[in-house]
Structure 1
Amino acid sequence: MNFPYIVIALILLIIVWFYLDFTLGRKKHRALFQKRETPILYGNFELFPHGKELFADYLHELKMARHHIHILFYIVRDDQFSQQFFNILKTKAQEGVEVRLLVDRIGSYKVKKPAINELRETGVQFAFSNRIKFPFLFYSSQVRNHRKISIIDGKIGYLGGFNVGKEYIDQDPKLSPWRDYHLKITGESVPFLQREFLIDWNEYASANVEVDSVYVPVQLKGSVPHQFVPTEAGFLEEKYLHFIQNAKKSIIIGTPYFIPSKKLINELILSAKRGIKITIVVPYITDHMLVQEASYRYLRLMLKEGAQVFQYRNGFYHAKSIIIDDQLCDIGTANFDKRSIFLNKEINCYFYDLDFVQRFKDILRKDILDSKPLTLADLNKPNFFGSVKEGIAGALSFFL
């Protein structure tokens, strides 16, 4: 057999393997996932849109921990700020506080063995979540744990879009200031975050923990009605469709990557046609290749239907939020893209308190003031290389 035919045969074999691996892996994932969400709970919330303020509060609370610290992040970097974070965890473990740190295997690939060994030597329990697993190597490499959950002493929880690295505290010249939303939580829903962390921990850590054995003090009800919903394997699409279909007046979406599924973009178009005012806030600069180009085809469709699109200009916009009719808002870890919808493990908090929704809308309104409108004319300017990148991005949009 000639060499070119061998190469072609190998390429075809690899394509077939990728297809079967992904298709069968996704089928198994959907079969195993069990939908779960809390009832309406009541808690108290602080909202942090700036990393410096968030981490000043967060690191202080870590230092004050007396019983346990349970942490899950998608990204932990190997930089000076991450070392500060590690040092606090090591100190608390040496003081006798139970410390568990779970990070995504791909997102936190920069956490190397020497750092892990140092953590473990001081008593920190460390594990990687969502490791690449046989037999579905390609599919498991794409399913990332994108959740960011912290629980301190069973009394304080954190949830949102920030990770641990210098860019999140405005020390990356290209991406500063970093704009995101993160929640500090007290009240009766903190034990749910505790359980969610332990579900992920038990899946990947060598030593499992009985959920009922973890110290969780009695929590009083707070004032803000809300609901936590963890998602994976496509369940997020169902939630978003429900919200969009039930909108009566307005939909505001804030996301760093606007790459919706076919069902979601069609539902948004139908909503615009029935008179729903749709506003979309996205970044002007990007932190990943091709994600901006992948969003353009969908933004064109929305602009043609009369939606308003704003590009945030005061740094990098990494927020994940939805507001429906000024009645409900969503703040969490999920982007409005196919990866968060179909592949990632995410967790969002849905708020049903009018005062909190208005408070959050005021923050989002400030972000819109720091943005500039995007028009069809902007997107349709002739650009050969831009068109090529859009074509490539469209083909890869499921994995961006």
Structure 2
Amino acid sequence: MDFGWVLIAILAGLALWLYADFQLGRKKHLKTAQTNQLPVRESRLTIFAEGPKLFDDLFYELKNAKQHIHILFYIVRDDKISQEFLAILTERRKAGVEVRLMVDWVGNGLKRKTIQSLKDVGVEFAYSQMPKLPFLFYSSQVRNHRKITVIDGKTAYLGGFNIGKEYINQDPKLSPWRDYHLKVTGEGVFDLQTEFLEDWRAAAKVHLLQNKAYFPSLPKGEIQQRFVPTEGILLEEMMAKLISQAKTSIFIGTPYFIPSKKVFQLVREAINRGVSVTVLVPFVPDHMLVKEASYPYLRTLIRDGADVYQYVKGFYHAKVLLVDEEVCDMGTANFDKRSMFLNYELNCLIYDDAFIKKVKNILAEDLMNSRKATLYDFSGGALKEKVASMISYFL
């Protein structure tokens, strides 16, 4: 048999396997995905938009932990800031503090030797979302993109930052790094602790949710908020509901603008009924093809009358959806298909005028460091754009 035909047969078989694996894996995922509806809480929130300030605060709180530290990141690099981070965890464990660290299997950048050194001092470590049979391809695509830190069950963090040099402006291409991360105290910490321990149970096969020591009494704060955990389901529905209810304005900030068909159509309908739509995306991408994948959507929105801006002062990695200046959605989910249909994400809906005013001030500053885009900015590279569109689900 001609070698060319053999190669074609092999590629066709591989494509068929990937398709079947993905479809059957997705079907199973939807049957088992958690769809927790969490209540509105009253908490205190602080927002960080710069990595150095966030990590100064986070590391201070970690160093002062007395009982337990629970951390989940999508990415932990093996670089200088990561070593500082791990040194704090090691010191706290030696001081008698329980420490649990969970990292996404794909996002993990720690060497085996580093992980073993953590285990040797008693730090409990687990990989989240390891690929597994029978649907290896599908399970390899379902990532835990949440970033949760809970300290003593009383102080928590959630947002877009991970642990690595780029997040503290030490990557020449992506500096300065712009992102939004929340510090939470008050009632909402209960939900973040619960979500961490749910993920820990899935990854480490250890059930700690019934341990009252991890759930101390928490005071009420002044800000009404609600956490929304999603597992490749519900995020599209939540975003669609917020956008469809918009009366005056929608602001979308995201590093990857690759929305689902339903959400994109609702954004267009909002423009048609007179809602002002502003989209902020990075000028410089951090991954191949994500920029080209957004081109068809952004061109259409500009033609419809939306204002699209490109952040030019570094890399824009923030995730925010602000509707009518009345409700703000902020957390770990990007405005893309991967977050909507594959990843484990965790967002925070905020209903507080004073806090939203702070968010507006940050957005105004970010727009000052951006340039308004035209159709020309999203043209060219037809082949790249076509390829990007074909695989946009996985970008």
Corresponding residue of 1:38: 38
**Is the CA contact (8 Å cut-off) linking 2:198 and 2:209 kept in structure 1?**
no
Corresponding residue of 2:61: 61
Corresponding residue of 1:243: 242
- Read off the aligned partner of 1:149 and give its amino acid letter: I
- Between the aligned partners of 1:71 and 1:375, the Cα distance in structure 2 is 41
Corresponding residue of 1:14: 14
**Is 1:265 equivalent to 2:288 in the alignment?**
no
- In the TM superposition, 1:302-313 aligns within 5 A as 302-313=301-312
- Read off the aligned partner of 1:392 and give its amino acid letter: V
Deviations 1:311-330 (A, max 9, x none): 00111000000100010001
What SS does the aligned partner of 2:214 have? coil
**Is the CA contact (8 Å cut-off) linking 2:33 and 2:233 kept in structure 1?**
no
**Is 1:316 equivalent to 2:318 in the alignment?**
no
Q: Which moved more, 1:162-171 or 1:204-213?
A: 204-213
Corresponding residue of 1:395: 390
- Between the aligned partners of 2:340 and 2:367, the Cα distance in structure 1 is 25
Corresponding residue of 1:280: 279
The Cα shift of 1:232 comes to 1.5
- Read off the aligned partner of 1:245 and give its amino acid letter: S
Deviations 1:66-89 (A, max 9, x none): 000000000000101101111110
What SS does the aligned partner of 1:211 have? coil
- Between the aligned partners of 2:115 and 2:207, the Cα distance in structure 1 is 19
The Cα shift of 1:113 comes to 0.9
- Between the aligned partners of 2:384 and 2:200, the Cα distance in structure 1 is 39
- Between the aligned partners of 1:54 and 1:132, the Cα distance in structure 2 is 32
The Cα shift of 1:206 comes to 4.3
What SS does the aligned partner of 2:182 have? strand
Q: Which moved more, 1:69-78 or 1:201-210?
A: 201-210
Structure 1's consecutive aligned runs of 4 or more residues displaced over 6 angstroms after TM superposition are none
What value does the CA root-mean-square deviation take over the aligned residues? Answer: 1.0
- Between the aligned partners of 1:36 and 1:207, the Cα distance in structure 2 is 20
- In the TM superposition, 1:1-400 aligns within 5 A as 1-108=1-108, 110-380=109-379, 383=380, 386-400=381-395
- Between the aligned partners of 1:143 and 1:45, the Cα distance in structure 2 is 29
**Is the CA contact (8 Å cut-off) linking 1:195 and 1:211 kept in structure 2?**
no
- Between the aligned partners of 1:128 and 1:214, the Cα distance in structure 2 is 24
- Read off the aligned partner of 1:130 and give its amino acid letter: Q
Q: What TM-score do the two structures reach when normalised by structure 2?
A: 0.98
Unaligned runs of 5+ in 2: none
- Read off the aligned partner of 1:396 and give its amino acid letter: I
- Between the aligned partners of 2:3 and 2:153, the Cα distance in structure 1 is 63
Q: What is the aligned-residue identity percentage?
A: 53
Q: What TM-score do the two structures reach when normalised by structure 1?
A: 0.97
- Read off the aligned partner of 1:391 and give its amino acid letter: K
What SS does the aligned partner of 1:378 have? helix
- Between the aligned partners of 1:358 and 1:72, the Cα distance in structure 2 is 29
Q: Which moved more, 1:266-275 or 1:69-78?
A: 266-275
Q: How many residues align?
A: 395
Deviations 1:47-82 (A, max 9, x none): 100000000000010000000000000000010110
- Between the aligned partners of 2:349 and 2:193, the Cα distance in structure 1 is 18
- Between the aligned partners of 1:41 and 1:208, the Cα distance in structure 2 is 25
**Is the CA contact (8 Å cut-off) linking 1:143 and 1:345 kept in structure 2?**
yes
**Is the CA contact (8 Å cut-off) linking 1:181 and 1:320 kept in structure 2?**
yes
**Is the CA contact (8 Å cut-off) linking 2:254 and 2:318 kept in structure 1?**
yes
Deviations 1:119-149 (A, max 9, x none): 0001100000000111100001100000000
- Read off the aligned partner of 1:93 and give its amino acid letter: R
Q: Which moved more, 1:52-61 or 1:212-221?
A: 212-221
Deviations 1:176-215 (A, max 9, x none): 1100000110001101110100000000114332434443
- Between the aligned partners of 2:215 and 2:324, the Cα distance in structure 1 is 36
The Cα shift of 1:172 comes to 0.7
